[in-house]
Amino acid sequence: MFFVQGRVPVPTRWSMETGDVISREQQDKFAEIRPYRDHEIRPVLERLMEEREFLDSMAAFQSRRLARWLPGLLRFLISRRLRRFIASVDDVQSMQQVVALYMEKTVRTTTWGLSQTGLENLRPDQSYVFVSNHRDIVMDPAFTNLLLHRAGFTTVQIGVGDNLLTKPFVADLMRVNKSFIVHRSLKGRELLLALRLLSEYIHHCMEVSENVWIAQREGRAKDGIDRTDPALLKMLAMGKRKMPLHQSLAHLHIVPVAISYEIDPCDSLKARELHQIKTTGSFPRTEAGDLRSIVKGMTGFKGKVHVAFGEELRCEADDAELAAAAIDRQIIRNYRPYETNYRALEILLEEGALESRELAQLVAGREVDSRSRELFDRRLAEVRGELREVLLFGYANPVISQFERAAGGN
C-alpha cells in the first residue's frame, strides 16, 4: 500500500517474435484489475475531489450531525483539506509517502508497538507472494507493508475483494494505494476467466519484481481459526497452467505470514456477526457495516502487533490440499499469542466452556502480563452476555490451534 515507485507503461513496443507493434491495450490486459500507475494517479485524485458521494462519506465519518445539517459546508471544508493533503502527489511514490505518514502515526497512536520476525531470512532482491492470515480488512497488509519498507524491501500490491468495492470511488481509493481487484461476485465462465486473469497478473508481478499480499482465504477469520483455502492455491497456479501445480506455485515464491493483534478493535463486531449466523443462519452485509469495520480497525486500539514472515513454501506434490496444509503449519506455528489470548482461554476453562487438563496447565504456566490482562478484562466487561463466549473463543482459538498442532507433532 505504501512507498513504491510505480511503472509508467510506454504507448507501444515491438514484438520480438513477429516484429509487429503491440498496442497499449494489448500490453495492458490487466487494466481493469491492476493498481493505478504514475500517469493515472493525479487524474484519479482530481476526480475524487469532485466526487460528491466520496465527500459525503468523508463528511459522515467526520461528523454525522454536521453532515446532516450543513452538508454543503462540510463537503467544501473536507475537499479543501484533502486538496492540501495531496497537493504534492503526482505519482505512485508520492502517494505512498503521504499514506506512509498516516501509517507511522497509526502505529504511534493505536498500538503498543509493531514488531516482526523472519524478514532476515528473505531476500530484498526477490519478489514474493505473501499469503497471510486475515484479521483486519485494511491493517493486515498495511502493517506488513510498513515493516517491509522499514527493512528495505519492495512493498506489496494488495488483493482486495470486489465485495468491498461496491462504489466506484472506493475502488479508486484502493487502486491509488497499490491494490488490485479480486473478483468474487461473478459466476460460471465469467468467474473462471476472471480468476485466470488474476492469476496471470500475480505471476506477472513476480516477473516485474513486485511483491504481492493476499489473504489465505476469502474474508477475515472472525473466529480466530486460520485455515488456508485450497482453492486459493489452485487459483494461484492457473497463471502458469501448462506447468504442474507445484512448479507454478514455486514461480510465485510463496511466503506464509502470520499477523497477531493483542487487541482486535473489531472483536465485538465479529462476535455479533458469528452469533447472528449461529442463531438465524445469516448475516446480511451492508456498505455501512463494511465501512464501520474499516474505520474501527484503523482507528481502534490494537495493543501490541506482530507480523511473522515464514519460510518460502517448498511444495513437491501437485496437491492444493497439501500446499494449503503446509501454509497452515507455518501460520499457526508463527502466530504470537498474547496475554489476551491466554486470558480468554483461562476464562473459558474456568467457566466450563472448555475442558482440558493440558490446556489448563498451559495457561497456568504462562508469565502473566498484568497490563494486558486488565485491559482485556475491562473490554470483556462491556460485551453483551450472548456475545461473550463467541468473543472469548475468537481470542482463545489461536492458542488452541497451536496446542493441537504441537500435540499432533506438526
Q: Is the pLDDT score of 1 beyond 80?
A: no
Averaged pLDDT for residues 153-171: 89
Q: Is the pLDDT score of 11 beyond 70?
A: no
**Is 22 inside a domain boundary?**
no
Q: Is the pLDDT score of 124 beyond 80?
A: yes
Averaged pLDDT for residues 147-165: 91
Can you give the C-alpha Rg of the chain in angstroms? 22
**For 62-118, what is each residue's pLDDT tens digit?**
666 765 777 777 788 888 888 888 889 999 989 888 888 889 999 999 999 999 999
Quote the pLDDT of residue 264: 98
Q: Of all residues in the chain, what percent are helix, strand and coil, respectively (each to 5)?
A: 55, 10, 35
Question: Does residue 402 share a domain with residue 278?
Answer: no
Mean pLDDT for all residues in the chain: 89
What CATH code is carried by the domain that includes residue 184? 3.40.1130
State the amino acid at position 227 in one-letter form: R
Q: Which residue has the higher pLDDT, 288 or 34?
A: 34
Question: Does residue 354 share a domain with residue 239?
Answer: no
Q: Which of 334, 349, 382 is the last residue of a domain?
A: 334
Quote the pLDDT of residue 75: 83
Percent of the residues in the chain that have a pLDDT greater than 70, as a whole number: 91
Q: Is the pLDDT score of 173 beyond 50?
A: yes
Question: Does residue 304 share a domain with residue 288?
Answer: yes
Question: Does residue 176 share a domain with residue 145?
Answer: yes
Averaged pLDDT for residues 381-398: 96
Quote the pLDDT of residue 410: 67
Question: Does residue 258 share a domain with residue 388?
Answer: no
Quote the pLDDT of residue 61: 67
C-alpha cell at 82: 484533502
**Is 111 inside a domain boundary?**
yes
**For 204-252, what is each residue's pLDDT tens digit?**
999 999 999 999 999 999 999 999 999 999 999 999 989 999 999 999 9
- Selection from 163, 194, 165 nearest residue 177 by Cα: 165
Q: What's the gap between Cα 304 and its chain centre?
A: 17
Quote the pLDDT of residue 169: 87
Question: Does residue 307 share a domain with residue 224?
Answer: yes
Full domain range(s) for residue 163: 92-334
**Is 26 inside a domain boundary?**
no
**Could you tell me the pLDDT band of residue 409, with boundaries at 50, 70 and 90?**
low
Please say whether the dihedral angle defined by the alpha carbons of residues 348, 351, 353 and 354, taken in this order, is positive or negative. positive
Q: Is 280 exposed, middle or buried (0-12, 13-18, 19+ CB in 10 A)?
A: exposed
Averaged pLDDT for residues 153-168: 89
**Could you tell me the pLDDT band of residue 27, with boundaries at 50, 70 and 90?**
low
C-alpha cell at 232: 486459493
Question: Does residue 394 share a domain with residue 327?
Answer: no
**Is 55 inside a domain boundary?**
no
Q: Which of 304, 334, 364 is the last residue of a domain?
A: 334
Question: Does residue 302 share a domain with residue 286?
Answer: yes
Question: Does residue 381 share a domain with residue 282?
Answer: no
DSSP three-state, residue 190:
helix
Structurally, the chain folds into a number of domains equal to 2
Averaged pLDDT for residues 173-190: 92
Distance from C-alpha of 3 to C-alpha of 160, rounded to nearest angstrom:
18
Q: Where are the alpha helices (DSSP H) in 227-283?
A: 230-237, 245-250, 267-280
Question: Does residue 379 share a domain with residue 324?
Answer: no
Distance from C-alpha of 283 to C-alpha of 374, rounded to nearest angstrom:
32
Q: Is 190 exposed, middle or buried (0-12, 13-18, 19+ CB in 10 A)?
A: exposed
Quote the pLDDT of residue 160: 95
C-alpha cell at 268: 465485538
Question: Does residue 319 share a domain with residue 358?
Answer: no
Quote the pLDDT of residue 21: 39
Q: Is 398 exposed, middle or buried (0-12, 13-18, 19+ CB in 10 A)?
A: buried
Please say whether the dihedral angle defined by the alpha carbons of residues 188, 191, 195 and 200, taken in this order, is positive or negative. positive
**Is 62 inside a domain boundary?**
no
Distance from C-alpha of 334 to C-alpha of 306, rounded to nearest angstrom:
10
Quote the pLDDT of residue 376: 97
Q: Which of 334, 367, 395 is the last residue of a domain?
A: 334
Quote the pLDDT of residue 251: 96
Question: Does residue 306 share a domain with residue 220?
Answer: yes
Quote the pLDDT of residue 81: 85
**Is 87 inside a domain boundary?**
no
Quote the pLDDT of residue 63: 65
**Is 139 inside a domain boundary?**
yes
Distance from C-alpha of 116 to C-alpha of 106, rounded to nearest angstrom:
17
Distance from C-alpha of 308 to C-alpha of 303, rounded to nearest angstrom:
16
**Is 225 inside a domain boundary?**
yes
Quote the pLDDT of residue 64: 65
Q: Is the pLDDT score of 10 beyond 60?
A: no
Quote the pLDDT of residue 3: 37
